[in-house]
Amino acid sequence: MSIRLRLTLWYSGLLAVAIVVFGVLIYTVVYRTTMAEVQKQLQQISSSTEVYPTRFNLAIGKLSSSFDPNTIYIQLVSYTQNQNGQIRQMTQNMFRSDNREELTFPFPPYQNVQTRFVERKINGLSYLIYETPIVVKETGVLVGLLQVGAFTGREEALFQQLRTILWLAGLVSLSAAFALGMFLSRKALRPINKVMEAAEQIQSGSELGLRIPRDKPNDEIGRLTDTLNGMLSRIESAYKHLEETNAAQRRFVSDASHELRTPLTTIRGNIDLLQKMLAAGDEADPAGPSGLSEAARKQITQEAIADIADEARRMSSLVNNLLSLARADAGYQVEMEKLPLLQLVEEAARRASFLPRKAAWNVGPLDVLEGVWVCGNRDYLLQLLFILIENGFKYTPDGEVRLFAVRKGDRVGLVVADTGIGIDEQDLPHIFDRFYRADPSRGVTSGTGLGLSIAKWIAEMHRGTLEVQSRPGQGSAFALWLPVAA
């Protein structure tokens, strides 16, 4: 059942109950007041009608002055204790002059006589009768019954009419209310329908950028529209993010396999060369079919093995880097502890001095690190500093590479600055991307383009940031900012 129909039914049901209660109330009030008038008149006539109880008989003495023979009928019934009563006397108007039967009121048996009002239908006409027992004052013996009746046909007709009017009015207003309710609920629910249609359109299409038009003021529907639109925006951005992540993942896999293939090709080439040379060396000819002397063969063998060793090293570092990034993607969290930063930086500086380099290696000032502790993982922080220092050495053919520390509020910065080749402005936003290498480095310096993306991941894992400033031809400065542990 639709909401529209349910709403209308509820509301019509409530209205029906209200109409019924109201109708019953009106009817009761009108009935009571009208009948109360008649009852009062009957009681009054009854009390002022004189009845004479004699020893064997009863007689109406004086009739009440308000007795109206057109509407009021009086009947006197006498009882003896072993007999069920008989009509003693009636007023003249109970004997019909026309051909119709004469009017007699039915009366109760002796033991049921009491003061009361009774409604009777006699010859199809309605009467209200007031009955008063007649008792001999001295003995208290019941001897008769005085019945004063009024024709209530007109009142009955009035009540009948009232009932019909109430029923009709009730039914008409209920049907009108139902129709109006259907109309109003359709009008009220139309904006919801519009929202539904728009939502269905968005759901069935592939366009996530669509939004539900919002033409309502700030009512419930307007707010619903806003909520749905907000939800759609979130879904859209989540979807975009997912697509970007997927694309990045695909790029990563293809770049990684490409990078792995290069050293493998070199290794296979060298192995092929060695195999061929060994096969040719098996022949008896001392100079060999290749015409190479023993010394030349030895040199070629040594070079091939050196190549293979180099490529294997490169591959192993590449695989290590890939592993680090795979961990980063999997949301890997390293164990953290409180570390004295000065010691850690001094250790990195000491180890860096053994790295092959052309530039001068300078350390300091580091005094801001006195007594500074950070929350972090020693190995990973050392790895990060090494990536920055190695890059400094790689991209600084002459000049110097310096490591120093600065402090800003509750953050401490470790800066690796060099006077090397610098980075072009258009390359700067990309150097933290995986496999990205700026043009001057390609084919000139060895590298995979993964170092800085690993460094960035480590910095973020430590709730730190990695910033870079660089000028082509003048040098670069990489700063790692870490929050100081309390």
Interface mask (CB under 6 A) for ligand ADP, residues 184-213, using x and -? Answer: ------------------------------
- Sign of torsion over alpha carbons 286, 287, 289, 294: positive
As measured in angstroms, the least distance from the Cβ of 242 to ligand ADP is 25
Kindly tell me which residue out of 447, 462, 479, 482 binds ligand ADP, with binding defined by CB under 6 A.
Answer: 447
Residues near 220 by Cβ (< 8 Å), separated by ≥ 6? none
As measured in angstroms, the least distance from the Cβ of 284 to ligand ADP is 49
User: Rounded to an integer, what distance in angstroms lies between the CA atom of residue 146 and that of residue 136?
Assistant: 13
As measured in angstroms, the least distance from the Cβ of 409 to ligand ADP is 27
**Number of residues near ligand ADP (by CB under 6 A):** 22
Structure tokens at 300: 């070629």
CA 12 to chain centre: 31
As measured in angstroms, the least distance from the Cβ of 467 to ligand ADP is 13
Kindly tell me which residue out of 90, 212, 322, 452 binds ligand ADP, with binding defined by CB under 6 A.
Answer: 452
Q: Hey, what long-range contacts does 462-469 have (CB within 8 A, 24 or more apart)?
A: 462/336, 462/374, 462/375, 462/376, 462/377, 462/380, 462/381, 466/432, 468/423, 468/428, 468/431
Number of C-beta neighbours around residue 399 at 10 A: 16
By C-beta, is 357 or 437 nearer to ligand ADP?
437
Q: Is 479 in the site for ligand ADP (CB under 6 A)?
A: no
User: Rounded to an integer, what distance in angstroms lies between the CA atom of residue 357 and that of residue 395?
Assistant: 10
Pick the piece of the chain touching ligand ADP (CB under 6 A) from 113-121, 244-252, 291-299, 451-459.
451-459
- Sign of torsion over alpha carbons 106, 62, 91, 154: negative
Pick the piece of the chain touching ligand ADP (CB under 6 A) from 47-55, 329-337, 373-381, 441-449.
441-449
Q: What is the dihedral of CA 187, 191, 197, 202, to 10 degrees?
A: 180
Residues near 290 by Cβ (< 8 Å), separated by ≥ 6? 277, 280
> What amino acid occupies position 188?
A
> For residues 408-427, which are near ligand ADP according to CB under 6 A?
418, 420-423
- Would you call 349 exposed, middle or buried from its count of C-beta atoms within 10 A (0-12, 13-18, 19+)? middle
Kindly tell me which residue out of 438, 459, 461, 482 binds ligand ADP, with binding defined by CB under 6 A.
Answer: 438
As measured in angstroms, the least distance from the Cβ of 205 to ligand ADP is 41
Kindly tell me which residue out of 74, 212, 431, 466 binds ligand ADP, with binding defined by CB under 6 A.
Answer: 431
**Radius of gyration for the chain, computed over Cα atoms and rounded to the nearest angstrom:** 57
Kindly tell me which residue out of 450, 458, 479, 482 binds ligand ADP, with binding defined by CB under 6 A.
Answer: 450
User: Rounded to an integer, what distance in angstroms lies between the CA atom of residue 308 and that of residue 183?
Assistant: 85
Kindly tell me which residue out of 451, 458, 459, 466 binds ligand ADP, with binding defined by CB under 6 A.
Answer: 451
As measured in angstroms, the least distance from the Cβ of 324 to ligand ADP is 12
Q: Is 376 in the site for ligand ADP (CB under 6 A)?
A: no
Kindly tell me which residue out of 51, 392, 403, 458 binds ligand ADP, with binding defined by CB under 6 A.
Answer: 392
As measured in angstroms, the least distance from the Cβ of 444 to ligand ADP is 9
As measured in angstroms, the least distance from the Cβ of 388 to ligand ADP is 7
Pick the piece of the chain touching ligand ADP (CB under 6 A) from 114-122, 292-300, 371-379, 389-397.
389-397
User: Rounded to an integer, what distance in angstroms lies between the CA atom of residue 206 and that of residue 122?
Assistant: 84
Number of C-beta neighbours around residue 115 at 10 A: 12
Positions in the binding site for ligand ADP (CB under 6 A): 387, 391-392, 395, 418, 420-423, 431, 436-438, 441, 447-453, 476
